[in-house]
Structure 1
Amino acid sequence: MLKSAKTLLNRLKIDDITLDLTSGYTVIYQQGDGHSAIKVNEPAILVIDGDSCLAFGKEAENITGKCPDGVRVVYPVQKGIIAEPNYCEQLLRHYFKIIADENKSPFRFLRIYPDVLAIIPHSATASTRKVMIETIDAAGAKGIELISSLQAAARGIGIGKDNAGASIIMNIAKDYTEIGIISLNKIHYATTLQVGYDDFQKSIIEYIRVHSDYTIGINNAKKALDKLGTAYFLPEDDEHQEEVISGLLKRTSVPESLKLTKLQVHTAIRPLVDKLLTGLLEVLEKAKEDMADDLKENGVNIVGVGGRISRLDIAISQALNIRASLANNYETCIVEGAGKIQAARNKK
């Protein structure tokens, strides 16, 4: 009888998930027998009209900047923590329902929502941890636990819990950056910078505003960053390489095409690269002398959406004379690392 009841519960229960909101995206990784996978990877954005939600995630991002007066674009997570709990709950309910509906159990209408291992910034306070747990719980999840993003990232790039060698993790999210030294799966020292991937786009917008007769929006700034952005110039680079984007003429607000060069984009983003380098220096100054060999060998591991910034690893290596590398799965390694930790806990 007990065995039958347990079997029924297992059929009703949805596989455990790991949840990462810290990057500015909603990233959900689900456990499964041989089929663990990223189920959701979309911007943590909602478009709200009165009491109605018009769009979530990628769909919401596509209409950002085009919404009429009275329609709000809501970013419920700011700098890795939940700033708008009610909207974040609505966002999570939306994605939890999608995952639950994929459950093929004939009893899925009685769905039991999953246990969740949620990722939080290293610098999260007790109050922000409490808000995270309460919001996820209100969205329907059960058995909620939290884990540091830096620890999850370390596991995601292959640093095991018993690895004694020190490494540096640089996690560049949408609106902040965490840098920490990891040793024996513990954080020796970490700092948070108020610079994120979105700031690189905003720096291009500001550069165009100051140095031209045009203004541009975030989507065209992203296009310029993706096409021309580089943190480091190589000798063979053509600084005059161009990309045509759209903007508005300041005097008349008439839409026009304008050309941006690789050098202009590099000039716009270079101060932010320097801020990241300064943050790395701060962390290196806190390293113990006996970590020197480890840090020389393991270097800086770049994760997060900021890994999209071309040649950031080269800029770090050249400026600080330390090895730097971009994780192969830089955008998802944090949630995947947390998933590995969750799976290991479940086996105990």
Structure 2
Amino acid sequence: MSLKDFLKGLAPDIGIDLGTCNTLIYVRGKGIVVNEPSVVAVERGTKRLLAVGEEAKKMLWKTPEKIIAIRPLRDGVIADLETTEKMIRYFMSKVVSNSWLRKPRMVIGVPSCITEVEQKAVEASGEKTGAKSVKVIEESLAAAIGANIPIYEPAGHMICDIGGGTSEISVISLGGMVVTNAIRIGGDEFDESIIKHIRSVHNLIIGEQTAELLKKTIGNAVPDGKIEKMEIKGTDAITGLPRRLEIDSVEVREALQEPVTAIIEEIKKTLSETPPELAADIVERGIVLTGGGALLKGFDKLVSKETGVPVFVAENPLHCVAIGAGLYYEYEKEMEKSRFGTDRVY
């Protein structure tokens, strides 16, 4: 083993995708080691930690009066700093090894649309876990690194990362962000649109988990010639009694139309702001989709149809931001080598 490899083993770099829906942690050399819902259950009043992640998600909307199940992140940013810190500490306790002799470096992917105050809150949460250093980078840059896109090249690459709370579209060339746009619309907004539609049309109240299941099971962005159906359960908005209802994929697509259109318009806007030389590269190389929203059936086809540009879904789109954050220092090192022809030690 070389000295460099030995030093890396003392404290591998850690990448975090602090998502509205899920938190993913990547450890260099080990891969994704945490992939759990960004949910925390605490005791009312004392805020004593009771459950985190998968166990806490099962409690959402089902807790007795003394317990609160919280999603501490909204629209891709921290809404509850204290609870977010507890959540990150818990996840990191499952990752950090006592055998490491040095504290790890941590890189966290965040939306480019967050404010300076929100960014400082993210950094503070990371620092309190005991990391040697905490760096915050744009989600789309992290996603591009994680998707193995050759962004060092003097050519335009477009990436669209659709997370739970935000969607970020960027054009990257020579390792730098040329154009970036972000909107606070993502998977959560998809779920909320389904909830609103079913209440408005059928007077049935459903929860976030039911809406998410509908989206993942029969949701689609374009007609595919096959109408799928699914039975759901909820509360009748008029009588207050439990009721069953069968929903088809056509209706779910109608419910999703508004947020899907908003993301596509943002992609078009980003393309219109891209310098012509880089736009020509994108027409040839296509747009890469990452994030959970990339998995909506037919979304890639709809984006391609609306923009006239080839569209590809990245391999493991849910993992790209965390992987890219974890590999950031390697990316930075490669950038230095490509610019100056040197091999700096970090």
- What TM-score, normalized by structure 1, do the two folds share? 0.87
Q: Equivalences for 1:1-348 in 2 at 5 Å?
A: 13-22=10-19, 24-32=21-29, 36-50=30-44, 51=46, 52-100=48-96, 103=97, 105=99, 113-234=103-224, 236-238=225-227, 241-343=228-330, 348=345
Which one is further off, 223-232 or 115-124? 115-124
- Given that 2:157 and 2:287 are in contact with CA atoms closer than 8 Å, whether structure 1 keeps it comes out as yes
Alignment match, 2:341 = none
- Tell me how large the CA RMSD over aligned residues is: 2.3
| C-alpha displacement of 1:128 | 2.6
Deviations 1:196-243 (A, max 9, x none): 101111111111111113221112111211121000112x223xx311
Q: In the aligned structure 1, how far is the partner of 2:21 from the partner of 2:213?
A: 19
Structure 1 residues 331, 12: closer, same or farther in 2, change over 3 A?
A: closer
Compared with structure 1, are the counterparts of its residues 128 and 104 closer, same or farther at alpha carbon in structure 2 (3 Å cutoff)? closer
- AA paired with 2:64? P
How many residues are paired up?
Answer: 330
Q: Distance in 2 between matches of 1:257 and 1:125?
A: 43
Q: CA deviation at 1:137?
A: 1.1
Task: List per-residue Cα deviations over 1:155-195 (Å, max 9, x = no partner).
Answer: 11122342222122111111111111111121111111121
2:266 match: secondary structure: helix
Contact 2:221–2:302 (CA<8 Å) still a contact in 1?
A: yes
Q: Deviation at 1:46?
A: 0.5
Aligned mates of 1:176, 1:166 — CA distance in 2: 23
- Structure 2 unpaired stretches of 5+: 334-343
Counterpart CA distance in 2 for 1:344 and 1:294 is 22
Q: Is the 8 A contact 1:164 1:184 kept in 2?
A: yes
CA shift for structure 1 position 69: 3.1
- TM-score with structure 2 setting the length: 0.88
- The letter of the residue matching 1:62 is K
> For the residues of structure 1 that align with 2:322 and 2:205, how far apart are their CA atoms?
37
CA–CA distance in structure 2, aligned partners of residues 283 and 77 of structure 1: 26
- Give unmatched runs, 5+ long, in structure 1: 1-5
Q: 1:141 Cα shift?
A: 1.6
CA positional deviation for 1:13: 4.5
Distance 2:318 2:102 in 1: 29
- Tell me by how many angstroms 1:302 deviates: 0.9
How far off its partner does 1:307 sit? 1.8
Name the aligned partner's letter for residue 139 of structure 2.
Answer: S
2:40–2:51 contact (8 Å) kept in structure 1: yes
Q: 1:193 to 1:287 in 2, by over 3 A?
A: same
Identity %: 25
Contact 1:23 1:305 in 2 (8 A): no
